[in-house]
Structure formats: C-alpha cells, structure tokens
A and B are shown apart, each in its own frame.
Chain A
C-alpha cells in the first residue's frame, strides 16, 4: 500500500484567502507531482519535481506554486484563492520511470 498523504481532504475557503495543500510521502521517492482534476474528468498535471530544490510547471497552467525543500514534502500554495480554483487536487510520487502512487486528494471549494 502506498504511503502518500494529503491534507486536508476537504477545504471550503473564501475568495482571496491564501491556502496551502499538504502532501507527504514516506517512500523516499524523488519524483512528486500535483494533478488537478474536476469531478469525473481527466487528470491535468500542474506541477512536478525531480527532487529537492527542483520544481517544474506541468501541462496545465496554474496560478498555484510549489516547493520541494525536503524529499518527503511537496506542498502546493495558492496565494489568493478564486472560485475558478475549485477542483480536486491530487498529489503523487514515483521512483524513476516507475508507477506513480497517489494520495487521496484534496477537494477544494472556493466560495
């Protein structure tokens, strides 16, 4: 079973607030990812990291930012949340060229 954790599971927040979505993995994986997914729809890669101090933007443009100060931790931050940011955010990690393991996701609602 994969050991990757996301908090919070659900978040309802007002427009303009700053939020940080947490993601931690205990598998020692170098690669970590953030995907954005609307309910029942496809996954869109918004950020990824090859390791500590490495962050890259994904295929889908996002106003969020990420950091990778520790191998196990890959938080995602929205400086000023808007209703258009309402979505599910999925974190994943993997070894090189291997299967990705996903967290349970954070369902974000911006009102």
Chain B
C-alpha cells in the first residue's frame, strides 16, 4: 500500500523557536491533512490542503501542499508549551473507479517544547 515518510520522528525545541516538519511519499495524493494529538486524546484536524502548491495558515501554523503532490510540510512559528504533542500528516489517495477512498497516515512527529 501507499506509505508516507514523516520526519523528523521527534523534536526537542526551546519555547519561542519555529518548528518545521514534513511528509513525503512516492505516490501522488490529492489531499493533505495535518493533525495534532494530545496524550490520551484523538487526533484533531489542524489544516486541510486540497490543491497542489496551496499554502494555508491557521494561526501560528502554516502548511503547504507540495507542487509535485507527493509532499507537504507544516511549520509552527513561535512555539509555546501547549504545542507539545504528536503531529500526524495524512494523505488522501486519488478517487478510484471502485469508489474507494483511503486516508494514509504518517508515523507522527513527537514535539517537545522546553520552557
């Protein structure tokens, strides 16, 4: 099946620093999603991207849909302690003739923010 390579696997940063993480794939995706998961909770959708080259912001978060449709990145500016958590990318594969839809998840980036 399709795979997403998400990096880095984990990050330790100082409060106030900017953060960047990305996902790459050998397959084309037509939707990229970024989620954040707090411990013991379900993932929460942060940003959804639907067009190649699209750049979208949500507060201090900015994400881009790569022009090749095989990658996406997420940036967090001026990190704060509540940014701690696991960030997952997810890609939606193109609609198939069989009517199927599949959402593929990366393995996550664990972010730790040092006050």
Report A's interface with B, CB cutoff 8 A.
2, 6, 31, 33, 39-43, 50, 59, 88, 90, 92, 94, 96-105, 107
Contact = CB atoms under 8 A, between A and B. Distances in A.
A61 to B, nearest CB: 14
A105 B101 contact: no
Interface of B: 1, 30-31, 33, 35, 39-45, 48, 86, 88, 90, 92, 95, 99-101, 103, 105-108, 110
A42 B107 contact: yes
Contact of A98 (B31, B42, B100, B110): B31
A49 to B, nearest CB: 12
A97 B30 contact: yes
Nearest to A91: B42
B42 A100 contact: no
Given A43-B105, A59-B1, A102 B43 contact: yes
A97 B95 contact: yes
